[in-house]
């Protein structure tokens, strides 16, 4: 049959024996997701076409994370549109307020998405769930409205690029360094319309959190999805958490790939993406002296517990540089609570950091750390476009939590080696 | 159907944060969003753009976020269509779903200059540069997408399906 894991998941949801790249397929969706920015448009469209009911009350997931808790009257009104809709429709998975976490962190954590799923989301980083061996791709609000009504979505079966990750990552090398290195190599449209599939002996060394980070940034290379093969770590993560039956797919040995790219992760040094594209990547040794004003740790890319732990371990007992504002944003309430119980929040606050409730906040320039004209930030988020975090005259550098912690201590972009 | 308008040119990888910055995503109103269209790429653009004008960009136009506010803002400003070498996947899909005509042509994207007067034929994808006296052929719109446009976009198709 020679299919890739992506082709197998698309085929199974289209009720087909086999699908081929280029083919258009209509698929049943397992989960339809929207947030406080994209859902209001979907709700408007839902009402405009006279739809009465969502296809499944349990499979529509609405997360109020971008400008929430509401940052102003306009965003409060947007959230209210979605809140009212969720209530009317009896939607169980309305995540807001004290339950709210950044969508792509909370869906896997709460077991709402799992291996073999087909997930459609009105948010470009929906591709994060590929870490679990699911097919997940971002769309716009119209597509999501259609899926909320019909429970279906159309896809063009993508071609797949196979990334073979080799070697054992060094002490300071995380999922973020691997994906930044890949985007630096192939460019922001290097995988346009394609699927990015990961294989190789390095993967057993990657935690689920590392894999989420790698899958998360597939869209930064233009890809439709990024996907890992489920293994023992996946099963361990999913068991007792995922509410539905997991389906473990794997690519056939003779599956067809349009390209194969080898990445030796054993040789990588920490990576930094320079303004204003995620592909302007340099190794930490080539960065030079760059003073920054703000360090942000958070987002759907790197706001998970292990990310916070890495930062805490590095800054514990040290002083932050006087030029630095450090903002730490746990991605979900569960992460925040664990960080609190284990003393991480104390470590951050002792170092002089601002610790926020879960939110997207500054990642998209919403609030909680907007940059002024001429300021520079080093952040663990995923995009460094002009104006993404505030002023169009500001600059954003992307890196791992370890580099973020080192930078907070020294005041300039630094390797964790320097402070460990 | 043909579009006539003045070209506004942009470079590679114009992202949706440049098309409509996130700070304005507290509205879904096309006119409101149009006031800030392309502001982070060219702060004067919202004042310069006239109804019917055409955005011409290089590769990977619309990369980044999935926000439909991007095509909504473009339509809200009265921009008749977009021409680029290539588009980011979600932007491409959104544009067809919402009935914003977009065309792909390397030659057009390279040769068209700021302020050129253009005429674009929707059905054939033929782009005439009236200022330079040149013609470029955009790639054909896939039949599935043409059907979507004919039905009036994705939601019109859904409406038909549910018989509402
Ligand atoms: S954390 Fe940033 S990238 Fe992730 S969903 Fe929120 S705004 Fe988008």
- Cα distances (Å, whole numbers) of residue A116 to A163, A244, B152: 20, 11, 33
pLDDT at A358 exceeding the cut of 70: yes
For residues A310 and A241, state if they share a domain. no
What domain range includes position A69? 5-263
- What was the pLDDT predicted at B142? 79
**Is the domain of A220 the same as that of A358?**
no
Residue where one domain finishes, among candidates A237, A263, A289: A263
User: CB–CB of A142 and B68 under 8 A?
Assistant: yes
Interface test with B, best of A63, A124, A128 (most B CBs within 10 A): A124
**Longest CA pairwise span in chain A (Å):** 61
**Sequence-distant (≥ 6) Cβ neighbours of residue A184 within 8 angstroms:** A271, A273, A279, A280, A281, A282
A285 & A400 share domain: yes
How many domains does one find in chain A?
2
How many Å lie between the centroid of ligand 1 and the Cα of residue B125?
A: 36
**pLDDT of the residue at B146:** 76
Tokens of A49: 């076409």
Is 80 exceeded by the pLDDT of residue A337?
yes
Q: What is the DSSP-derived secondary structure letter of residue A255?
A: -
Residue of A300, A307, A356, A396 to mutate, ligand 1, most atoms within 8 A of C-beta: A300
Same domain assignment for residues A257 and A290: no
Whole-structure pTM value: 0.97
**Considering CB atoms only, which of B26, B27, B154 is closest to A142?**
B154
* pLDDT at B147 > cutoff 90: no
Instruction: Kindly state whether residues A56 and A168 are assigned to the same domain.
Output: yes
Here the ipTM equals 0.93
Let me know whether A125 and A184 are in one domain: yes
Could you report the per-residue pLDDT of A120-179, keeping only the tens digit for each?
Answer: 999 999 999 999 999 999 999 999 999 999 999 999 999 999 999 999 999 999 999 999
- In this model, does residue A363 exceed pLDDT 90? yes
Please indicate if any CB of chain A lies within 8 Å of the CB of B90: yes
On whether both A219 and A335 belong to a single domain, the answer is: no
3 state SS of A73? helix
Q: Which residue of A has its CA nearest to B40?
A: A392
Q: Mind listing the pLDDT tens digit for each residue in B24-51?
A: 999 999 999 999 999 999 999 999 999 9
Apex A130 CA angle, A250 and A208, nearest 5 = 95
Q: Ligand 1 pocket test: which of A35, A104, A126 has the largest number of ligand atoms within 8 Å of its C-beta?
A: A104
Dihedral pair phi/psi, residue B51, rounded to 5° = -55, 135
The answer to whether residues A60 and A186 belong to one domain is yes
Looking at the structure, tell me whether residues A377 and A400 fall in a common domain: yes
Do A108 and A83 reside in the same domain of the chain?
A: yes
- Residues A81 and A210 placed together within one structural domain of the fold: yes
Domain ends where: A218, A246, A263?
Answer: A263
Confidence of residue B163 (pLDDT cuts 50, 70, 90): confident
User: Hey, is A112 helix, strand or coil?
Assistant: coil
Question: Does one domain contain both A142 and A171?
Answer: yes
For tokens 């159309």, what's the residue?
A154
Q: Which chain A positions have a beta carbon within 8 Å of B61's beta carbon?
A: none
Domain boundary residue, one of A232, A263, A294: A263
Say if B151 is an interface residue toward chain A (CB within 8 Å).
no
Q: What's the CA gap between A231 and A215, in Å, rounded?
A: 15
| CATH number of the domain that residue A330 is part of | 3.30.499.10
Asked whether A115 and A230 are in contact (CB, 8 A), the reply is yes
Q: Looking at the predicted structure, is the pLDDT value of residue B1 above 90?
A: no
């Amino acid at each position: 049959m020679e299919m890739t894991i992506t082709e197998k998941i698309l085929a199974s949801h289209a009720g087909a024996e086999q699908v081929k790249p280029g083919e258009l397929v209509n698929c049943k969706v397992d989960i339809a997701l929207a947030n406080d920015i994209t859902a209001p448009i979907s709700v408007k469209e839902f009402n405009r076409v006279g739809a009465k009911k969502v296809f499944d009350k349990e499979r529509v997931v609405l997360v109020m994370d971008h400008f929430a808790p509401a940052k102003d009257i306009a965003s409060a009104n947007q959230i209210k549109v979605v809140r009212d809709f969720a209530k009317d429709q009896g939607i169980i998975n309305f995540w807001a307020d004290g339950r709210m976490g950044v969508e792509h962190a909370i869906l896997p954590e709460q077991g709402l998405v799992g291996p073999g799923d087909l997930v459609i989301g009105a948010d470009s980083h929906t591709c994060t769930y590929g870490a679990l061996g699911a097919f997940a791709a971002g769309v716009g609000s119209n597509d999501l409205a259609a899926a909320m009504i019909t429970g279906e979505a159309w896809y063009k079966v993508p071609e797949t690029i196979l990334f073979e990750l080799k070697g054992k990552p060094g002490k300071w090398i995380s999922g973020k360094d691997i994906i930044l290195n890949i985007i630096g190599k192939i460019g922001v449209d290097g995988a346009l319309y394609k699927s990015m599939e990961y294989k190789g002996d390095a993967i057993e060394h990657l935690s689920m959190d590392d894999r989420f980070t790698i899958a998360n940034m597939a869209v930064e290379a233009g890809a439709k999805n990024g996907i890992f093969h489920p293994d023992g770590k996946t099963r361990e993560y999913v068991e007792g958490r995922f509410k539905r039956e997991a389906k473990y797919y794997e690519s056939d040995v003779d599956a067809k790939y349009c390209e194969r790219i080898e990445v030796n992760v054993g040789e990588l040094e920490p990576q930094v993406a320079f303004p204003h594209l995620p592909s302007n990547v340099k190794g930490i040794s080539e960065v030079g002296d760059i003073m920054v004003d703000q360090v942000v740790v958070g987002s759907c890319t790197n706001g998970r517990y292990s990310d916070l732990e890495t930062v805490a371990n590095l800054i514990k007992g040290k002083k932050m540089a006087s030029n630095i504002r450090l903002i730490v944003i746990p991605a979900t309430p569960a992460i925040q609570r664990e960080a609190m119980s284990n003393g991480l929040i104390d470590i951050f606050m002792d170092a002089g950091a601002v610790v926020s409730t879960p939110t997207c906040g500054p990642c998209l320039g919403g609030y909680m750390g907007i940059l002024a004209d001429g300021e520079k930030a080093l952040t663990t988020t995923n995009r460094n476009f002009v104006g993404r975090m505030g002023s169009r005259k500001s600059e954003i550098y992307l890196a791992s939590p370890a580099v973020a912690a080192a930078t907070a201590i020294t005041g300039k972009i630094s390797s964790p080696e320097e402070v460990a | 159907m043909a579009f006539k308008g003045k070209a506004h040119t942009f470079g590679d990888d114009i992202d949706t944060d440049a098309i409509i910055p996130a700070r304005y995503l507290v509205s879904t109103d096309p006119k409101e969003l149009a006031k800030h269209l392309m502001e982070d790429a060219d702060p004067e653009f919202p004042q310069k753009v006239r109804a019917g004008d055409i955005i011409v960009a290089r590769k990977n136009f619309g990369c980044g976020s999935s926000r439909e506010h991007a095509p909504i803002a473009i339509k809200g400003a009265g921009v008749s269509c977009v021409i680029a070498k290539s588009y980011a996947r979600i932007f491409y899909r959104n544009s067809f779903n919402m009935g914003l005509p977009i065309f792909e042509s390397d030659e057009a994207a390279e040769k068209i200059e700021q302020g050129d007067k253009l005429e674009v034929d929707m059905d054939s994808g033929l782009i005439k540069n009236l200022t330079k006296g040149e013609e470029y052929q955009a790639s054909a719109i896939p039949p599935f997408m043409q059907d979507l446009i004919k039905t009036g976009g994705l939601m019109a198709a859904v409406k038909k399906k549910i018989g509402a």
